[in-house]
C-alpha cells in the first residue's frame, strides 16, 4: 500500500505545482499601456472601404511601422493597397484619446488616418497583446472592414514618437 500512497502524493504535488504556476503566470500577464511600448512592424490583409473610390469595399492590404510610447499614444506610417492601387498612409492617436488596454491584455485604439496625404475617416481597432507585448493581433471594427492585422515588436530599439519625422 505504500506504493499507491506515494504515487497519489506525487500526483497531488504535481497538480498543486501546476496550479501555482498557472496562477503565477496569469498574474504576471496583467497588461497596461506600458505593455505595448516599442516600435512595431505590421501587416494587415482583408477587405475594406476604399476612401479613394467612393468607399467601395475592395481587397485591402497594408504594411508599415507603428510606434507606441507606452502611455497610450501611437503613431505610424506605411503603404496601403486597395484593389492593387498602392498609396502611402499615416495613422496616429489624438493626444486626448489614448489607446485603452485592459488587464486581460485586450484593448482598443482609434487612429486619425491619412491616405495619399488626405484625411479619411478615423479607424477603430480592437486587439489582444500576445507574448508580453512581442505581438499584437487585431482587426478594424468599422463597418465594411473584414481584415486582420498583426504587429511584431522590433527587437533592435525604440524610436521616440517625435524622432521619426514626418512620413
**Among the listed residues 39, 64, 32, the one whose alpha carbon sits nearest the alpha carbon of residue 132:** 32
DSSP helix/strand/coil, 154: coil
Phi, psi (deg, nearest 5) at residue 19: -65, -45
d(CA 16, CA 22) in angstroms, rounded, equals: 10
The angle subtended at Cα 41 by Cα 146 and Cα 115, nearest 5°, is: 55
Q: What is the pLDDT of residues 37-77, one digit of tens each?
A: 999 999 999 999 999 999 999 999 999 999 999 999 999 99
Average pLDDT estimate for 125-129: 97
Residue 164 has pLDDT above 80, yes or no: no
DSSP helix/strand/coil, 45: strand
Residue 121 has pLDDT above 90, yes or no: yes
Name the more confident of 38 and 2: 38
C-beta separation of 127 from 108 below 8 A: yes
Could you give the residue ranges of the DSSP H alpha helices within the chain? 2-28
Residue 25 pLDDT grade (very low, low, confident, very high; cuts 50, 70, 90): very low
Residue 16 has pLDDT above 70, yes or no: no
In this structure, the chain runs to a length of: 167
* Torsion of the alpha carbons at 93, 157, 78 and 160, rounded to the nearest 10: 40
Q: What is the pLDDT of residues 78-104, one digit of tens each?
A: 999 999 999 999 999 999 999 999 999
Amino acid at each position: 500500500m505504500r506504493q499507491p500512497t506515494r504515487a497519489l502524493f506525487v500526483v497531488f504535488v504535481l497538480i498543486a505545482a501546476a496550479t501555482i504556476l498557472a496562477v503565477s503566470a496569469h498574474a504576471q500577464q496583467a497588461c497596461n499601456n506600458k505593455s505595448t511600448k516599442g516600435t512595431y512592424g505590421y501587416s494587415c490583409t482583408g477587405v475594406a472601404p476604399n476612401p479613394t473610390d467612393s468607399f467601395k469595399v475592395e481587397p485591402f492590404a497594408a504594411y508599415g511601422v507603428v510606434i507606441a510610447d507606452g502611455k497610450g499614444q501611437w503613431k505610424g506610417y506605411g503603404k496601403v493597397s486597395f484593389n492593387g492601387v498602392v498609396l502611402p498612409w499615416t495613422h496616429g492617436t489624438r493626444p486626448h484619446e489614448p489607446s485603452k488596454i485592459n488587464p486581460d491584455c485586450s484593448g482598443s485604439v482609434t487612429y486619425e488616418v491619412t491616405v495619399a496625404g488626405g484625411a479619411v475617416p478615423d479607424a477603430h481597432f480592437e486587439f489582444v497583446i500576445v507574448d508580453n507585448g512581442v505581438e499584437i493581433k487585431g482587426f478594424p471594427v468599422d463597418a465594411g472592414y473584414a481584415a486582420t492585422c498583426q504587429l511584431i515588436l522590433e527587437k533592435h530599439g525604440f524610436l521616440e514618437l517625435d524622432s521619426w519625422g514626418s512620413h
